[in-house]
Structure 1
Amino acid sequence: MSNFGDRLPAAAREALAGCRGHFIAALLFSALVNILYLAPTLYMMQVYDRVVPTGGVVTLLALTLVLAAAIATIAMLEAVRSRLMVKASLQLDDRLARTILARLIAKGQGGRGDPSSAQAMREFDTVRLVITAPTLIGLFDAPWTPIYVIAAVLIHPLLGLFVVCAGAILVLLTVFSDRATRRLTRTAHRAATRSAIVQEEIAQHAELIRALGMGAAMVDRQISERAQGQAAGASAQMATVRFAAIAKFMRLLLQSLALGVAAMLAIERQISVGAIIAASVLLSRALQPIEMLIGGWANLQNASEAIASLKRLLDDTNVASVATALPAPEGRVSARKIVVRSPDGSSVLLKGISFDVEPGQMLGVVGASGAGKSTLIRVLAGGITPETGTVMIDGADTGMWDPERLATYRGYVPQEPAFLSGTIAQNIARFAAADPQDAEDLDHRVIAAAQVAGCHALILSLPGGYDCPIGRAGVALSAGQRQRLALARALFDDPAILILDEPNAALDAEGEAALIRALDATRRRGATVIVAAHRTGVLAAADRLLVLSNGAVDCQGPADDVLAVLAKRAGETSGNVVGLKGATA
């Protein structure tokens, strides 16, 4: 836990700075609580030294009332302190949760080498829950331990020395506990993260797993992932419990020894009889924060691992600050020397791709399977960031744009359309928040996009129409229906740039005809259209063709010129060439 501030992501440090007031107040309340905890000690000393020898019932009553008031104040202060921690936790969530989710989206390839980034919100919740846990209260109480040492010294210096030595023993136990459990906790944390990811994948692809008879294999895989994490976690927990038991034993033993030391001093008339009990109580209170830290050390280590994961997510993601809002783009798209590597870095997927496409033009991207078409489309859509090279919109690097704002000018149909839980209307509108006074306008824009995409009638045929739920918990749609709805989502608010990856792969003849009409209407309004496709009917109206081969540009240019080059190379019997030629004739 050393250099804790340096280990925090910059965004987390800023968020915690906003909660500083809560922590300072909690620390001050801790001081008051620990001072008031001296009241039982003083009460016992007065009872044994003054009330019992003199039989002062009135004095006993007065002391008892004062003690009751002190204990009531302690209870109130501890409740307020706990409330402050809950408030700090909520404020931290309010300040940081949005940033974490935004970074996850911005990172895109977030899982590269770090599966825990996919579990970032769980990691964040782990950190938040530690704030409200008793372990943190122990940390707040620890700085005030000297209060009890001073009180013990005032009774007798030897008692003060005994308290210091006892505290040192428990601190050493804390250090040993940390060394014994840190590696195990880290292993358990990473294994649990991998297990959670596998479990989500199994749930997401349950139908495929059943259809292909992979259920037993997936269960074995999940059990294997869990077993490693469970074993490491159990070992770490057992080590923590072992050290906690040792710490409890040492505290009870030292507390009893404190009684013995105090009794010896009392026999020698160096302290009063009441001070014997007081010495035991002071030692117990002085050691309690340390014992709490030992008992909750596993939680602190889990939080430490979670912070390390969040730091990788938040600090490794480059989010450019946007100084100037650029004007709405006309749609000119340029790529310059785009290079993309595979997630593990073992191969180059795109090798220096460059091209230009003007507003009102349609660029067809063709090539064999594995040529790099989908990777290029994902780069142009902002889904992944190239290792080198730039994508420019109207001559401006896409990094100069606010990603959210740029996305409003871009329509995108991925190879495998996915929808988020919500209604069809919400998904087409990209979950845009409707102004209560302008809700009808949003509905008109959604319907207009569906009409251009040629799926208005399809939507009306579904249960509930535009209010039909889709996504993970919604109605099951065919692949063709999903592609048609994805096109409507891409066309929402007439984007200046339309990017499509195999948009007709699952379409029937009617759906493909609707797609071709939508692309023609999009071009006629001056938008830029970029389409990657195997089925060439959709490329009938392409102005330019870009042919990829093994991640590199094979040839590109006006469609007729490219077709002539391909025909000359492969002959008129080549399936792709005949198809493209027929489509563009």
Structure 2
Amino acid sequence: MRGTSFKSAQKRKAAEKLTQGLRGIVIFLFSLSGIINVLALTGSFYMLQIYDRALTSGSIPTLVAISVLAIGLYLFQGLFDVIRSQVLVRVGARLDKRIAPLAHQVAIDMPRFGFSTSEALERGRDVDTVRGFLGGQGPVALFDLPWMPLYLAFVYFLHPLLGVLVLGGAVILTMLTIATEIMTRRLSGATHQAAIERNAIADSNARNAEILKAMGMAKRAVARFDSANAEHLSLQTRTNDISGTFGAISKVLRMVLQSATLGLGAYLTIQGELSAGAIIACSVASARALAPVDLAIGNWKGVVAARTAFQRLMETVIALADMEPPMRLPAPNSTLQVERITVAAPASGRVLLSEVEFQLNGGQALGIIGPSGGGKTTLVRALTGIWPVLRGSVRLDGAELTQWKDEDLGHHVGYLPQDVSLLDGTVAENISRFDPADEPTAVVAAAAAAGIHEMIVRLPDGYHTRLGPQGASLSAGQRQRIGLARALYKNPFLVLMDEPNSNLDGEGEAALTEAIKGIRARGGIAVVIAHRPSALATVDVVAVIQNGRMTAFGPKEEIVGTRGAVGAAAAPARAPATARIPA
């Protein structure tokens, strides 16, 4: 019970943090809307005074005085309207500034847990949706709705029958608003999910444009997108049909009600129960009373979208609040311990690696070999913390990876993935991992350790050469070597490389060999996934991963022997899988 109450308190704290300072702003906007709505009665009072005072008296000074006063009140109403609009825009910008970094942090983490890129990017779109809503007419309608009784009271004061008529119209329009909410809520979730699926296909097609073009798959890719887009359009059309239909009905009813008010007012005037000015005043006031309802129905799609987006953002903030920030730990310099870890694919939940255990000491290099699909890359993802482990633990100097802050762990771990992606920036920024405290000497040292300093200085702008999205201006081998330099930046204790020589020529492989030697010489640990024997030249320990299990672990000479890495991948285990090799 105590743990549950603690989590509830955390969630409340997160929600309060997200909406901090907004309560006072909402009260201010509500009060400001009250002033605006009181001033909106200016037109009705003006009509009353013109018809019942100025015209009957025939006094020009009275007409001028009433008109000047009305113009002044209209100007004040316009000024307050501008202030309300600008405050709402700034509230949206404030929320964006507060939430957007958190949403992007979650977007970066979501693919690690099996979500698509499009689903991850939806958090950023949610921020845009909320900000756009606050800058539109939806909030204006919602702030004006509570002041409807003010106009109903004014009309009732003119004549009770007119008040009853306008109240009945308000009730009918309110019921239309509720019906719009009920009917669109069912479709909004399905429409949102269809949009995610469509965007996922679009994102996949864009990322694989070269393959689609080269292999004549573009037409089929477009057909897949068209099918998903048709589903999304169908759902969106149904949603728009509902909101559009109810919007049109509400507009017609408002016009009918306004005419009915005029007709009833005329009847009451003929009967001598109402003045001519009161007819016009009543018509203006009733139109103003029902305008917020009409505006709310017309903008209800935006209201629903903003509400759903804000709920998802609240969930995002609460999820981050559940994460206790770990303490800062000393830099690791001794061991990497893998204790019977089991790893599953986040997307499917299928177990890819089971009961793997070993230990490496500073100064050692591990080569991981085995057939494709055996679990080698899964192991490296677990060692970096990219994929969480189901059971077991990965420890640096005895501390689990979860006990490290991501930023701190990043200082101690270098990672070269199988598919190297560089960010849109300069060569130096990519090597330094976009470190704001970029140290030129450390950048050059990392480039030299990867053997690419000479290559970089020959580029048009040297280390300041911009690479463009994903480093598309470079060859695959150049991207891989810059990725290696990034992994070696500031000499991390643990360096993990997934097929680091897959795109390298002879010069690149020689540089890779020297880099692994350098890691070992400074007391670091290197882990290398290898399909080519040359990558194992400087490792002293080899592990064989087959069918999701480590079937062999031991000194390279015992595991590989004279048959090479490829033969060893299919060889039977010669050493226990849990062996620990001394440095």
TM-score (ref. length: structure 2) = 0.91
Letter in 1 for 2:109: A
**Secondary structure in structure 1 of the residue aligned to 2:332:** coil
User: How far 1:14 moved relative to its partner?
Assistant: 2.6
Aligned mate of 2:306, from 303, 317, 321: 303
**1:462-481 counterparts in 2 under 5 A?**
462-472=459-469, 476-481=473-478
Task: Show structure 1 runs of 5+ residues with no match.
Answer: 1-7
In structure 2, distance between residues paired with 1:229 and 1:12: 32
**Is the CA contact (8 Å cut-off) linking 1:171 and 1:290 kept in structure 2?**
yes
- Equivalent runs, 1:425-574 vs 2, <5 Å: 425-434=428-437, 442-472=439-469, 476-563=473-560, 574=567
Partner residue of 2:409 out of 372, 396, 406: 406
Contact 1:244 1:291 in 2 (8 A): yes
Q: Distance in 2 between matches of 1:235 and 1:573?
A: 58
Matched residues in 2 for 1:109 and 1:182: separation? 30
Partner of 2:28: 25
1:84 equivalent in structure 2: 87
Opposite residue 138 of structure 2, the aligned amino acid is T
**Secondary structure at 2:324's aligned position in 1?**
coil
Instruction: Tell me how far 1:33 sits from its aligned partner.
Output: 0.2
TM-aligned CA distance change 1:317 to 1:214, over 3 Å: farther
1:68-467 matches, within 5 Å, as 68-109=71-112, 111-112=114-115, 115-310=118-313, 313-316=316-319, 320-345=323-348, 347-434=350-437, 442-467=439-464
Structure 1 residue 377: Cα displacement:
0.6
- Residues 1:412 and 1:475: Cα distance change in structure 2 (over 3 Å): same
Shift of 1:178: 2.3
Residues 55-112 of structure 1 show CA distances to partners (whole Å, capped at 9, x for unaligned) of: 1221111111111011000110010111001111111111111111112223342553
In the alignment, residue 348 of structure 1 is paired with which amino acid? V
Equivalent position amino acid for 1:544 in 2: V
The residue type equivalent to 1:559 in the other structure is K
Shift of 1:126: 1.1
Q: 1:343 & 1:385 partners in 2: Cα distance?
A: 8
C-alpha contact (below 8 Å) 1:479/1:506 kept by paired residues = yes
Distance 1:110-1:117 versus aligned 2 partners, 3 A rule: farther
Name which of structure 1's ranges 244-253 and 312-321 shifts more when overlaid on structure 2. 312-321
- Structure 1 residue 23: Cα displacement: 2.9
Q: Is the 8 A contact 1:19 1:91 kept in 2?
A: no
Q: What one-letter code is carried by the residue in structure 2 that aligns with 1:328?
A: A
State the one-letter code of the partner of 2:279.
I
Q: Distance in 1 between matches of 2:559 and 2:130?
A: 57
User: Residue 189 of structure 1 contacts residue 305 of structure 1 at CA under 8 Å; is this kept in 2?
Assistant: no
Equivalent-residue separation in structure 2 for 1:57 and 1:554 (angstroms): 104
SS for the counterpart of 1:422 is coil
Q: Secondary structure at the match of 2:551?
A: strand
Decide which moves more: 119-128 or 183-192: 183-192
C-alpha distance 105-113 of structure 1, shift in aligned 2 (>3 A): closer
Percent same amino acid at aligned positions? 36
Counterpart contact for 1:329–1:394, Cα < 8 Å: yes
Deviation per residue, 1:383-434 (Å, 9 max, x gap): 2222333222211121121112211211110001100101111100111114
CA distance in 1, matches of 2:253, 2:111: 51
Q: CA offset at residue 548 of structure 1?
A: 1.4
> Structure 1 pair 506/115, CA: closer, same or farther in 2 (3 Å)?
same
Q: CA deviation at 1:256?
A: 1.2
Query: How many residues get paired?
Result: 564
Does the 8 Å contact 1:411/1:490 carry over to 2?
Answer: yes
Q: 1:345 to 1:355 in 2, by over 3 A?
A: same
Matched AA of 1:123: D
Instruction: Output the CA distance in 2 between the equivalents of 1:573 and 1:210.
Output: 34
TM-align CA RMSD: 2.6
Q: C-alpha distance in 2, partners of 1:553/1:192?
A: 42
| Mapped partners of 1:471, 1:340: distance in 2 | 35
Measured in 2, the distance between the counterparts of 1:118 and 1:291 equals: 33
In the TM superposition, what is the alpha-carbon distance from 1:152 to its structure 2 partner? 2.0
Q: Against the structure 1 CA distance between its residues 111 and 64, is the aligned structure 2 distance closer, same or farther, given a 3 Å change threshold?
A: farther
Do 2:183 and 2:242's aligned partners in 1 also have CA atoms closer than 8 Å? yes
State whether residues 12 and 96 of structure 1, in contact with CA within 8 Å, keep that contact through their aligned partners in structure 2.
no
Cα gap change, 1:503 to 1:10, in 2 (>3 Å)? farther
Q: Distance in 2 between matches of 1:571 and 1:176?
A: 72
Deviation per CA, 1:211-268, whole angstroms, max 9, x where unpaired?
Answer: 1111111111111121111222122212211111100000011111112222333333
Distance in 1, Cα, partners of 2:19 & 2:114: 26
Is the CA contact (8 Å cut-off) linking 1:34 and 1:141 kept in structure 2? yes
For residues 24 and 564 of structure 2, the distance between their equivalents in structure 1, rounded to whole angstroms, comes to 77
- What residue is the counterpart of 2:3 in the other structure? none
Q: Structure 1: which amino acid aligns with 2:567?
A: S
2:8 match: none
Aligned partners of 2:405, 2:365: CA distance in 1, in Å?
A: 25
CA offsets per residue over residues 427-461 of structure 1, 9 Å max, x none? Answer: 00111114xxxx6xx11111110001111112123
Gap regions ≥5 residues in structure 2: 1-10, 575-583
Partner of 1:4: none
1 CA distance for matches of 2:16 and 2:137? 22
Q: Distance in 2 between matches of 1:400 and 1:218?
A: 44
